[in-house]
Structure 1
Amino acid sequence: MKHKLLLSALLVGAVCSAHADPLASWNDTAAKKSIEEWVQNATNKDRSTFIPPEKRYVVFDNDGTLWPEAPLTFQLQFAVDEVKRLAPEHPEWKTDPVVTAVLNNDLKAVAESGQKGLMRLLELTHSGITTEEFDQRVSSWMDAKKDPRFGCRYDQLGYQPMRELLDYLRKNGFKTWIVSGGGIDFMRVVSQKMYGIPPEQVIGSFALSDFTLTDNGTELRKNMKGAFYDDATSKPVAIHLFMGQRPVAAFGNSDGDLAMMQYTAANPDYKTFGLLVHHTDGEREYAYDSHPSASGKLIEGLTLAPQKGWTVVDMKQDWKQVFDPKLCPVKN
């Protein structure tokens, strides 16, 4: 009798495991159903909507799509913390307005400095060092720093519903890429660990590096030469450069992602999919669209989405939880 009960329990467990919801952090709303319907149509050989596995390339923005971007993007917060750490060694920085804003904790002024201010902070903290040294600085920062609001490390703040979506797509034969305005070297440090996306499938903003022979071998030293900002209309350019083919699905959260989504939607061979994450949950995360604290403005996208048939995710209504409670036990 005991053996029969054990066998029954094992069978029930196996059945439950086989039918486990791969998108368990999503509410059963139209957004979740649209994802599942598209994937089913794209992977069914008997349907006209079938997409061959070698063409199943899908692209994700990062800031605001896979992890938070408020009140500052994580990379900008890293640059701010690096300026504070390095400033005592560089007294000449104190005459720089954006450095002064950082040292005075005037994050509003930092955000308002725009792309020019951002590039200056990147110049001070992302150049003049080897690629290995930069990777180590990012890793050390990720290990030591915590988000002041959520009290968790930044690498623990990937959106759980989006991480499930990445896994779901990969299990159905899709190749997942990041295409973001964030720095390519910065994201590559954590992309595998956080999202299961290898470094070679990360596309982002970048600058050229200097190669030199050294007594110990070779090194690449980061600088700001040939800087390429991977946002807005630059995203399709970068996709073509790094991927060499047009995606079949695109996931973003701001008007800066629209060119990538339009480029994807214009794929002449397959029925594509587009999704925008709308930040509507000020209690569990942040609520903004037309007036973000730093980046992620979403105005035109909300108008285009119904016209293009794109899915808009209402974070408050469509997600059961925002972060993985095992990694970041905040209110979900």
Structure 2
Amino acid sequence: MKATLAAICLLSPSLALGSDDPLPSWNDGPAKTAVLNFVETTTTEGSTDFVRPSERIAVFDNDGTLWAEQPMYFQLLFALDRVKAQADDHPEWKTTEPFKSALAGDMKGLLATGKEGLAKVLAVSHAGMTADEFAGSVRRWLRTAKHPTTGKPYYRMVYQPMLELLAHLRSNGYKTFIVSGGGVDFMRVFAERVYGVPPEQVIGSSIAAKYELRDGVPTIVKLPEGLFVDDKEGKPANIYGRIGRRPVFAAGNSDGDKQMLQYTTIPRGVDDTTARFGLLVHHTDAEREWAYDRKSHIGQFDKALDDAPQRGWVVVDMAEDWNRVFAD
């Protein structure tokens, strides 16, 4: 897997020799122009919008923003595989929700159990394991599992235009973070190799953990409790607690990212004149990816879509603004 993931990283525009365009997978238009202008003006000394290097913080959602999220979040698909693998040791699951629906492949029934039910499925996928054991299980899954619709490995379902954007920001002194509702331990396994985002710059949902010595070896053990969901209001709180600086650039794709964009872009009074940027990916391309927004059961994009014009957030139309979708 290392060689394959490294090859994906080489698709980054920072290594596209001979090209003066840092965003070649973006079509010329208002969205691309806005991104390029923001980066240029905030990194050019003497510009009225110049942002000091120490304050160049950019935050990105993951699911639906950096890689696909249909027909459901990829970590949930991983957790379902883990539930099936453990089913023989838990006969009670056959009659107990949410596991009954998970084992039957009844996604409608599983989603009907709500966040509490989904949290139980996710917790089972790593509770009681050491951090290293869980990371190993994710690596093995990424090596073998295939997307149910495209048949591609999940790590090939990343968006080339967003890889280019991440690379362009970093090449101009920005520090890029992932702030996602996905599990932090899950994303840290692949984020650096695929996105160029190191594990210490990955923020996500988490469960409790404890430290213990096992046969004299320092070990972190995951616990089936203390779930913190890094979504909606949780995202600004986690940015404050983990980063300690307010971002100047935020990118998402759904209502779950609205509060993160608000926290990033809304001025803190008349003296707050720092240039700020909000970006939302709109999934409009049913031919190359999926088309969904307001009524989607995954990645619902409704209130944030309505707020975008008045907030000045740039909405990226996938069908119109990207000449290429996946980094494959």
TM above 0.5, yes or no, is yes
Q: Distance in 1 between matches of 2:94 and 2:125?
A: 15
Q: Which residue of 2 aligns with 1:279?
A: 283
Determine whether 1:313 maps to 2:316.
Answer: yes
Q: Which residue of 2 aligns with 1:209?
A: 209
Q: Which residue of 2 aligns with 1:138?
A: 138
Determine whether 1:115 maps to 2:115.
Answer: yes
Letter in 2 for 1:319: W
Letter in 1 for 2:292: Y
Letter in 1 for 2:149: R
Determine whether 1:301 maps to 2:304.
Answer: yes
**% of aligned pairs identical?**
48
Secondary structure of the residue that 2:260 maps to in structure 1?
Answer: helix
Letter in 1 for 2:230: D
Secondary structure of the residue that 1:126 maps to in structure 2?
Answer: coil
Summarize deviations over 1:296-332 as a string: whole Å, max 9, x none.
111111111111111000011111111023xxxxxxx
Letter in 2 for 1:271: A
Summarize deviations over 1:238-292 as a string: whole Å, max 9, x none.
0011000100010000111111100001353511000000111111111111111
Q: For residue 43 of structure 1, report the CA deviation from its aligned partner.
A: 0.7
Q: Distance in 2 between matches of 1:127 and 1:277?
A: 33
Determine whether 1:65 maps to 2:69.
Answer: no
Q: For residue 19 of structure 1, report the CA deviation from its aligned partner.
A: 4.2
Q: For residue 138 of structure 1, report the CA deviation from its aligned partner.
A: 0.5
Which one is further off, 222-231 or 39-48? 222-231
Q: For residue 99 of structure 1, report the CA deviation from its aligned partner.
A: 1.3
Q: Distance in 2 between matches of 1:284 and 1:25?
A: 14
Determine whether 1:169 maps to 2:138.
Answer: no
Summarize deviations over 1:1-46 as a string: whole Å, max 9, x none.
xxxxxxxxxxxxxxx9454321111111111111001111101111
Letter in 2 for 1:270: T
Q: Distance in 2 between matches of 1:130 and 1:43?
A: 42
Gaps of 5+ in 2: 1-15
Q: Distance in 2 between matches of 1:282 and 1:108?
A: 22
Q: Distance in 1 between matches of 2:17 and 2:145?
A: 36
Letter in 1 for 2:305: L
Secondary structure of the residue that 1:257 maps to in structure 2?
Answer: helix
| Equivalent pair of 2:124/2:224 in contact (CA under 8 Å) | no
Aligned length: 309
Secondary structure of the residue that 2:49 maps to in structure 1?
Answer: coil
Secondary structure of the residue that 1:246 maps to in structure 2?
Answer: coil
Structure of larger gyration radius: 1
Q: For residue 69 of structure 1, report the CA deviation from its aligned partner.
A: 1.1
Letter in 1 for 2:188: R
Letter in 2 for 1:288: Y
| Equivalent pair of 2:207/2:223 in contact (CA under 8 Å) | yes
Which one is further off, 103-112 or 35-44? 103-112
Q: Distance in 1 between matches of 2:184 and 2:239?
A: 13
Q: Distance in 2 between matches of 1:231 and 1:19?
A: 37
Q: Distance in 1 between matches of 2:116 and 2:288?
A: 32
| Equivalent pair of 2:66/2:162 in contact (CA under 8 Å) | yes
Letter in 1 for 2:166: L
Q: Which residue of 2 aligns with 1:47?
A: 47
Q: Which residue of 1 aligns with 2:105?
A: 105
Q: For residue 86 of structure 1, report the CA deviation from its aligned partner.
A: 1.3
The residue correspondences of 1:82-97 to structure 2 (distance < 5 A) are 82-97=82-97
CA RMSD of aligned residues (A): 1.3
Q: For residue 151 of structure 1, report the CA deviation from its aligned partner.
A: 1.3
Q: Which residue of 2 aligns with 1:154?
A: 154
Q: Distance in 2 between matches of 1:214 and 1:120?
A: 27
| Equivalent pair of 1:72/1:111 in contact (CA under 8 Å) | no
Q: Which residue of 2 aligns with 1:5?
A: none
Secondary structure of the residue that 1:78 maps to in structure 2?
Answer: helix
Secondary structure of the residue that 1:277 maps to in structure 2?
Answer: strand
Determine whether 1:250 maps to 2:250.
Answer: yes
Which one is further off, 36-45 or 121-130? 121-130
Which one is further off, 251-260 or 223-232? 223-232
Q: Distance in 1 between matches of 2:208 and 2:312?
A: 38
Q: Distance in 2 between matches of 1:314 and 1:113?
A: 32
Q: For residue 218 of structure 1, report the CA deviation from its aligned partner.
A: 1.8
Letter in 2 for 1:272: R
| TM-score, normalisation: structure 2 | 0.91
Which one is further off, 246-255 or 124-133? 124-133
| Equivalent pair of 1:274/1:311 in contact (CA under 8 Å) | yes
TM superposition outliers: structure 1 runs of 4+ over 6 Å: none
| TM-score, normalisation: structure 1 | 0.90
Q: Distance in 2 between matches of 1:111 and 1:139?
A: 26
Q: For residue 208 of structure 1, report the CA deviation from its aligned partner.
A: 1.6
Gaps of 5+ in 1: 1-15, 326-332
Determine whether 1:291 maps to 2:277.
Answer: no
